[in-house]
Structure 1
Amino acid sequence: MNSGVFITFEGPDGAGKTTILSMVANHFKEAMVTREPGGIDIAEQIRKVILNKENTAMDPRTEALLYAAARRQHLIEKVKPALEEGKMVLCDRFVDSSLAYQGYARDLGIDEVWSINQFAIEMLMPQLTIYFDIEPELGLKRINKNKEREINRLDLENLEFHQKVRDGYYLLMERFPDRIARIDASGTVEEVYEQTVKMIKDKLAK
């Protein structure tokens, strides 16, 4: 039985969710912070394969399966034990990324990718998913300006792909309105941070 709180951060590339997550982690110092794909050794190895800019021949189904495999190992080795200990877990991306990126933007089908991930996660879902929303053009501009950011294979996709990712997230907000909450990520870092902390506090108070 999980007694902790599982909160995930989602959004298109360049939305700034990783920056906000690190700030939020300083506020909720008791929280365990992790990321997908990655977070533990095996999943980090899979991450290198998925995001390697040289792997342009990767089939979309292979990509979806690799994400699900990394997610499974990360969940069992790190997330689930922390939740069972009653901890708050803040995770940079989770299953919704696969649904938006591979399910919708790669045209594999949201339901099909959801089926793969149900096997991987055994229905262990976040209590709250914060979606950081941004226009794709602005997100890509931020990526190009941030010289310290890791540029990965997905960043090299065209504007149409990133627009489809955003459209996919909008479909997920319609499907899971009780779990996914939207924040306008085009504001200042301070504005987005304050909204995020308030959203988490409101969730914890329920």
Structure 2
Amino acid sequence: MGLFLTMEGPDGGGKSTQIRLLAARLGECGIRYCTTREPGGTPISDKIRAVLLDPSHGEMAPKTEALLYAASRAQHVAEVIRPALARDEIVLCDRYIDASLAYQATGLDLSYEYVRRLSEDATDGLWPTRTYLIDVPVEIGIERVCKSRGLGLDRIEQRDLTYHQRVREQFLEIAASQPDRVLVLDGTKSTAEVAEEIWQDVRRFL
């Protein structure tokens, strides 16, 4: 069976960059891997992603958002993640269940247990072996996103700082409650420093 690793954290933490760097390092070592993301990762899931992130869908109800994320995740796990793990690959996923617990449950004031059950039903209880939580203060993260994306912020990124602060706090609560799975990294450090910390931890699983 392969190894399932996820990257989480507030927007602007550098998750996507760290996945690319880790994938390159695994490739250099001749280790088979699969990189993917949420929402998305499959043709069906990508269509759901487009609906979820479209800024024109401001009327979307919180429960609708949570259900769409779960639907996208169910297809993603069935079509991409479980098959890759069955091939003994290392799966590197940009966001997963923890993101729903932070962004939809806490961020949108939905029941934490409802969103957790929904996600576990969608994935048949598949959790990552290790989650790297790249933490940055909300103001820094949003500033980074705005610099890289300009006015092209998606529907979630456009929410106010109070929302994003609740999201960050929930991520940190998850990490504190599950230290054996979640490793918190300081996203204000240089990209190279964070990448090296992740690599040294990943080596323990190889």
Q: Secondary structure at the match of 1:86?
A: coil
User: Equivalents in 2 of 1:169, 1:107: separation in Å?
Assistant: 15
Residue 172 of structure 2 aligns with which residue? 170
C-alpha distance in 1 between matches for 2:8 and 2:176:
15
Q: Structure 1 residue 32: deviation in Å?
A: 0.6
What does the per-residue CA deviation read over 1:84-107, in whole Å, with 9 as the maximum and x for residues that have no partner? 111110000000000011111111
Tell me the equivalent position of 1:65: 67
Normalised to the residue count of structure 2, the TM-score between the two structures is: 0.95
> Could you tell me which residue of structure 2 aligns to residue 28 of structure 1?
26
What displacement does 1:202 show?
2.2
- State the distance in 2 between where 1:86 and 1:105 align: 35
**TM-score using structure 1 length:** 0.95
Which residue of the partner structure matches residue 184 of structure 2? Answer: 182
1:139 pairs with 2:137: no
Q: Which runs of 5+ in 2 are unaligned?
A: none
Corresponding residue for 2:12?
A: 14
Query: Aligned residue for 1:82?
Result: 84
**How far has the Cα of 1:203 moved from its partner?**
3.1
- How far apart are the structure 2 equivalents of 1:200 and 1:141? 29
How many residue pairs get matched?
202
Structure 1 runs, 4 residues or longer, greater than 3 Å off: 147-150
Is the 1:143–1:149 contact (alpha carbons within 8 Å) kept by the matching residues of 2?
no
Match of residue 117 from structure 1 = 119
Q: How does 1:87-106 map to 2 (within 5 A)?
A: 87-106=89-108
Alpha-carbon deviation of 1:195?
1.0
> Aligned residue for 2:57?
55
Report deviation, 1:150: 5.9
> Helix, strand or coil: the match of 2:4?
strand
Deviates more, 1:171-180 or 1:115-124: 171-180
Q: 1:163 corresponds to which letter in structure 2?
A: Q
The question of whether the paired residues in 2 share the 8 Å contact of 1:38 and 1:47 is answered with yes
SS in 2 for 1:153: coil
- Range 127-136 or range 142-151, more displaced: 142-151
The 3 A distance-change label for structure 1 pair 65 and 186 is same
Q: Which amino acid aligns with 2:19?
A: L
CA RMSD of aligned residues (A): 1.3
Q: How many Å separate the matches in 1 of 2:192 and 2:148?
A: 18
